[in-house]
Each structure stands twice: as C-alpha cells, then as structure tokens.
Chains A and B, each alone.
Chain A
Amino acid sequence: MATGHGHDDHHHGPAKGITRWLYTTNHKDIGTMYLVFSLAMFLLGGTFALVIRAELFQPGLQFVTPNFFNQMTTMHGLVMVFGAVMPAFVGLANWMIPMMIGAPDMALPRMNNWSFWILPFAFLMLSSTLFMDSGAPNFGWTFYAPLSTTYAPSSVTFFIFAVHMMGVSSIMGSINIIATIQNLRAPGMTYMKMPLFVWTWLITAYLLLAVMPVLAGVVTMMLFDIHFGTSFFSAAGGGDPVLFQHVFWFFGHPEVYIMILPAFGVVSEIVSTFSRKRLFGYDSMVYATSSIAFLSFIVWAHHMFTTGMPLAGELFFMYATMLIAVPTGVKVFNWIATMFKGSISFETPMLFAIAFVVLFTMGGFTGLMLAISPADFQYQDTYFVVAHFHYVLVPGAVFSIMAATYYWLPKWTGNMYDENLGRLHFWLSFIGINVLFFPQHFLGLAGMPRRIPDYALQFADFNMLSSIGAFIFGFSQLLFVFIVIKAARGGKKATAEVWDGSHGLEWTVPSPAPYHTFSTPPVIK
C-alpha cells in the first residue's frame, strides 16, 4: 500500500502533510479547501470594507486618499464576489453534492483539484496590485470602460489575468458539477427526487457555464484595447463605451443569480429540517428556480436605464425585471408555508435561514423599486443601490453560507458547534447588518452618491450609524472563525442524523463523514 495513492484505490485514508492538500482529488478535501479559502477572502474583503466604513465614519478625509478609497471599493467588490461568495458555494457543492446524491466523489476529480488550485494564485495576483506603484484597480468592481481601459492604472493587466484565471476555475468547477449530477446519481435518485440544493446548483452551474466565458471575453477585449490598439470600447476608433456595459451586464446579471440560487437551495434544506416538515411545493421550487435562471438572461439592461435607451427598451427591461418577482415570490411563500404549523426549533442554522427569508425579501423589494425605470433615474448610483444589493448579498448569500456551515459542520467535523456562541454570533450579525445597511436606504434616497470618500454634512449621522454597524458585523465574524475552529478541534460528538428532523442521504453516513462515502451506491426507494 506504500504506493497506493491512485484515486481508484478506495480504501486508504488521506495522505499526510502538505501533499495531501496539493495532490488531493477527494471531494471532501477540496470542499474544505474551497471553504477555508473563501473564509480567508471573506475576512480580507471585510477588512477592505472596514477601511471604507472607517473613512466614511465622519465627513471629510480622515484616513485614506480618494484614489486609495476607490481601490478599496473595487477590491472589496471583487474579493467578496469572486473570492468569498462564489468559492464558498463551490466548496459546499463539493462537500455536499456527492453525499446528497449517493456518489463516491465528483465526476472529474483531477479537474476538481485544478479548479481549486488556480484560485489562490488568481487572488495572490489580484492582491499583489495593492503593492504596485500604480496601486490596485480603482475603477469599481464593474470596471466600466473607458475608466478601466484608457484611464486605468497599469495594474489593470494583472486584474485582467486574475479574472481570466477565476473564470477558468469557475468553468471547470461547473463542468464538474454538471457531470456529477447528471451521471453519478444513485440508482432510483430521479431528477425530481434530488435535494433542492443539488437542483439549484445544477441550474447555477449552467448559468456559470453560459456567462463566465462572456466575462472572459469582455476582459479580453479590454486587454486588446489597452495593449493592441483595438477600439472595442473607444469611441475615437469607432467603438462604443456603452457596448462595454451591455457585454458586462450580460454576464453581470446572471452572475447575481449565480450568487443567490445555491442560497435558495441551502435555505430550502434548512427550513424544512428545522420545521420538521417536508418542503412545501418542491416541484414549484424547481420550476421557479429554472424560470429565474431563464429570466436572468433578458433583464441585464436594467443596470443601464440612464444610458439613453429608447423608450421601448426601458419598458421591456422594466417589465421583464418585475416578472422575476413572481418566481421569487413563489419561493418565499413556499418557505413560509413550510414553516406554517411546523414544529419549529431555533438552532443557529434556522435563525440564519429565517433571517435570510426576511432580509432577502426586503432586498428583493428595494430591487423592485430600482426596476421601475422612471424612478431609477433618481436611485441610480446612490447609496440606495448599495443598500439594495448588500441586503440581497450579505443577509442573502452570506447568511445562507453561514447557515449552511452551522448546519453541516457537525457532519464535516463530527462535533457539535457551541450552540450558545452560535446564537450569539447570529444576533450580533443580525443586529450589525441592519444597523450597517438599513440607514443606507435613507442616505441613498436623500441623494448620497456611492463610491465617493467624502459627503455633505447632512449625511453625517446615518453614515456614523452605518459605520458602527459595520464594525459590529465585521468583528463578530471573528467569533464565527472561533466557533468553527472550536468545533473542528472537539466538542460534543454528533450523531449520524445530527438534527432531529434531518432527511436526505448525507445524514445516513456517520459523523464525521468518512474519507470515502458511498463507494457502493445506496438504493433510493
């Protein structure tokens, strides 16, 4: 067995030392690496956010120069979207999908290893721009041309290649997830018996496959405009800067659903478990998710209402956008119906899931307000937009990732996390997030523009409040790190089922889940 390292040898444990992590093709190891990486990026992106909020604590310039402030908003967005939220969901997919469908591993384990190991290098390259003479990218995470081409710092080329690498990683990851779900389901696991988390990820993977190449395309065009004299986005050479926005948002809008669909899956699992009921309206959940995915491709120009579209365009994108509220509403009502008359208990995952349902819905409503084209002319580029997308991304995507972590942590580590500390973490986060983002609605409606390091005196009180919330939320995440480490090191032993109302294949294997599970597929009746 000394050389028994091939991946077709199913009876050995993990290798020892660093090579275990470098060479591993095990879906659980890779899932863990994705999750740890994502946590590190969450803390890094959070640090950037705290620099922003510290500067905005009071009017005037206190700590940073306007240019560095712009670098912070840009890097915060990029790191959180591509480094924290997306890899976290891929990590959850790696860990849970094979165990949920009764597969021994991911379909393409070697590629799985590559998809992960590209990421740290991509972000190392992106972060290294902070130490360059030109400074980091400062044109916002949406990197509109010509700000990101003609007027970009020279570090933009590093940014472009980092985006290429993230794209390759995501595409390989999604190919793997699709191949796994479509080929490795245990006998009897039909599509309509798959857990909702698997369903939402299948659809997300197709979205990723469709739009990440478009993102790679748009940064490639930038690269050519900057270095090879083409004029895709330069009006002087016959190009059009507005074209950039169209291509970017053709990627960008499905991207926001990429960050929220797996969250829907997670919340569906958790709400059903802690209500001790089957998920209400499983079929409608599947169809609603598919409709949202379809609609996400035909609404992109609602990000561009003020670019001078023809009236017909404004109307089409307004109505198409509002249509998304229908399948999303189906989901929200299904979660509520699942909880209705359920025997609910409020463990930490359930607290995060309920907060998700409430706060995500609020973010959805402000989204509807922004969708109203005539009103959007006032909201465009104000803190109202910032409040809106942070409500769907932080208590939306991020809360669902935390809920998922608490929910499956006992399965991963074999130990229960500290429930009291978990609840404390929840309440600190919940209060912190609302103090942080709720006042930003008012700031935006009163006209405070986003991405500006200074502001008029009338905005001072709400900004101070918002910054206080930011520091409460930010530092309470250290508690989260502590709870996770504590559970990984020991604690009350978890049973195989872990939760009272748990259902699904992942709860039939012991806790912690053995290094290899379902080497022979289970039979689903």
Chain B
Amino acid sequence: MAEADTHQRSLGRQAAKLALYALGMFGFGFLLVPLYDVFCEVTGLNGKTGGKYQYEQAQASVDESRAVTMQFTANNNAAMPWEVRPMQHQVTFHPGELVQVTFYARNPTGQRMVAQAVPSVVPFKSADYLHKTECFCFTQQILDAGEAVEMPLIFFVDRALPADVSKMTLSYTLFDVTQNFAAKGKALSAN
C-alpha cells in the first residue's frame, strides 16, 4: 500500500509539473507581445517608427553628398470620416537636415472627435533612420465639429541611412479613438 501511495504521489508531482509547464506557455503567449515589438524595432518590420527624438546639432551634421526624397500620404482607417492630407506631397533633402512639413485635418462631422495617427514607413529597413523631433502622432488630435487644423511634423533622416535608399514613403493612418478617449478620460499615448 505504501508503494501505491508513493506511486500516486509521484504521478501527482508529474501532473503538477506538466500543469506548470502549460501555465508557463500561457505566459509565453503574452511574452510574444513585447518580443514582437523588439523584433519589429530591430528589423524595422512593419515600418514602425520610433518615438520623439532629441535633435542635437552636433550629431546631425548634414551629408550634402546625396539627397533623399520623402513622399507623404495620409489615409483614414475604416469608418473614420475626417478629411486628412499632407500639405506637401514630397520633399527632397539631405540626410542630417532638419525638415518641417504640415498635414491638414478637418472634422466634417457634427461631433467633437478624437483621432490617433499611426505612422508607417517604407522601405521597412529605412524605418530605424527616420527620427522625428515633433509629430502630431505623438499625441491625439481633438477637433470640434467642423474644426480644421494644420499639424506639424519635424524630422530628419540619419546619415547612416543605407546608400541604396533614395526614396522613402511616410504614411499616416487616422484612427477614430473618440470612445477609448472618453472611456479613459485621458490621452492614450502611442508613438
């Protein structure tokens, strides 16, 4: 009988170990979220751009030997009714040079709405070299009924940008986050 008891106990121990392993894999599923972010940051996958960048004159000497063209596009996500467009369609500049452009947005509805712009840049491998010192995507845009706004974007492109990249496209997608905003009562922060 004692033997059967130890047998039962060792079975119980193994079951507990396996259950712990399953629990660990449940955690691993959630770990994939930050891992994915790190992976995207390292590889520039999905064209995710970084957050607010501190511009220092010293590090950003201008490389006059080549020029880069940046094209801009802005779209609405799904049911977002805003009018949104870049005010310049493209600019050409040197790596290291600080560039300012503006985007226009208007809320044509009868309600006060909150929008979040989500950036993406192609080619993906250039995402890491785009540094934004000021962007409307760092905060949310709150527009009253019928209100319009001109939104600034200030950026420069790192001198280390791979030599074969001469043209980049920066796209913004506007999401309607009025409900999230109301629910949280404060600004969400994305990049």
Taking a contact as CB atoms under 8 Å apart, the answer to whether A236 and B183 are in contact is no
Query: Which residues of B are found within 8 Å of A182, using beta-carbon distances?
Result: 14
Taking a contact as CB atoms under 8 Å apart, the answer to whether B29 and A235 are in contact is no
Query: Which residues of A are found within 8 Å of B18, using beta-carbon distances?
Result: 174-175, 178-179, 209
Within the assembled complex, what's the spacing in Å between the Cα atoms of A214 and B22?
A: 9
For residue B38, CB closer than 8 A to chain A, the reply is no
**Contacting residues of chain A (300-340) with chain B, CB-CB under 8 angstroms:** 308-310
**Binary B-proximity of A159-180 (CB < 8 A = 1, otherwise 0):** 0000000000001001110110
Taking a contact as CB atoms under 8 Å apart, the answer to whether B29 and A217 are in contact is yes
Given A218-B29, A310-B43, A310-B45: A236 in contact with B180 (beta carbons within 8 A):
yes
Given A237-B188, A243-B33: A213 in contact with B23 (beta carbons within 8 A):
yes
Query: Which residues of A are found within 8 Å of B177, using beta-carbon distances?
Result: 236-237
For residue B53, CB closer than 8 A to chain A, the reply is no
Within the assembled complex, what's the spacing in Å between the Cα atoms of A175 and B18?
A: 6
Query: Which residues of B are found within 8 Å of A355, using beta-carbon distances?
Result: none
The number of residues on chain B lying at the interface, defined by a beta carbon within 8 Å of a beta carbon of chain A, is 41
For residue A246, CB closer than 8 A to chain B, the reply is yes
Query: Which residues of B are found within 8 Å of A175, using beta-carbon distances?
Result: 15, 18-19, 22
Size band of the interface chain A makes with B: 35 or more
Taking a contact as CB atoms under 8 Å apart, the answer to whether B29 and A240 are in contact is no
Query: Which residues of A are found within 8 Å of B184, using beta-carbon distances?
Result: 229
Within the assembled complex, what's the spacing in Å between the Cα atoms of A310 and B64?
A: 30
B172 to chain A, nearest CB (A): 11
A521 to chain B, nearest CB (A): 12
B163 to chain A, nearest CB (A): 18
Within the assembled complex, what's the spacing in Å between the Cα atoms of A85 and B68?
A: 56
For residue B116, CB closer than 8 A to chain A, the reply is yes
Query: Which residues of B are found within 8 Å of A90, using beta-carbon distances?
Result: none
Taking a contact as CB atoms under 8 Å apart, the answer to whether B15 and A179 are in contact is yes
Query: Which residues of A are found within 8 Å of B7, using beta-carbon distances?
Result: 183
Query: Which residues of A are found within 8 Å of B77, using beta-carbon distances?
Result: 235-236
For residue A443, CB closer than 8 A to chain B, the reply is no
Taking a contact as CB atoms under 8 Å apart, the answer to whether B180 and A214 are in contact is no
Taking a contact as CB atoms under 8 Å apart, the answer to whether A247 and B29 are in contact is yes
Query: Which residues of A are found within 8 Å of B36, using beta-carbon distances?
Result: 240, 243, 246
**Contacting residues of chain A (339-385) with chain B, CB-CB under 8 angstroms:** none
Given A212-B22, A235-B77, A308-B46: A217 in contact with B30 (beta carbons within 8 A):
yes
**Binary B-proximity of A48-63 (CB < 8 A = 1, otherwise 0):** 0000000000000000
Shortest Cβ distance from B122 into A: residue: A308
Within the assembled complex, what's the spacing in Å between the Cα atoms of A246 and B176?
A: 25
Given A240-B46, A310-B43: A108 in contact with B29 (beta carbons within 8 A):
no
For residue B93, CB closer than 8 A to chain A, the reply is no
Taking a contact as CB atoms under 8 Å apart, the answer to whether A236 and B116 are in contact is yes
For residue A221, CB closer than 8 A to chain B, the reply is yes
**Binary B-proximity of A207-244 (CB < 8 A = 1, otherwise 0):** 00111111111100100000001011011111010110
Which of B19, B25, B40, B190 is A210 in contact with, Cβ under 8 Å? B25
Given A179-B15, A235-B175, A242-B46: A247 in contact with B32 (beta carbons within 8 A):
yes
**Binary A-proximity of B98-140 (CB < 8 A = 1, otherwise 0):** 0000000000000000001010000011000000000000000
Query: Which residues of A are found within 8 Å of B78, using beta-carbon distances?
Result: 150
A290 to chain B, nearest CB (A): 18
Chain A interface (Cβ < 8 Å from any Cβ of B): 107-108, 111, 150, 171, 174-176, 178-179, 182-183, 209-218, 221, 229, 231-232, 234-238, 240, 242-243, 246-247, 250-251, 308-310
Which 4 pairs of residues, A with B, have the shortest CB-CB distance?
Answer: A217-B29, A236-B175, A213-B26, A238-B190
- List 20 A-B pairs, Cβ < 8 Å: A111-B15, A176-B15, A179-B14, A179-B18, A183-B7, A209-B25, A212-B25, A214-B25, A217-B26, A217-B29, A218-B29, A231-B188, A235-B77, A236-B118, A236-B180, A243-B33, A246-B36, A247-B32, A309-B45, A310-B125
Chain B interface (Cβ < 8 Å from any Cβ of A): 7, 10-11, 14-15, 18-19, 21-30, 32-33, 36, 40, 43, 45-46, 77-78, 116, 118, 124-125, 173, 175-177, 180, 183-184, 188-191
Known A234-B175, A247-B33; 7 more pairs at CB < 8 Å: A176-B15, A179-B11, A213-B25, A217-B27, A236-B190, A243-B36, A310-B125
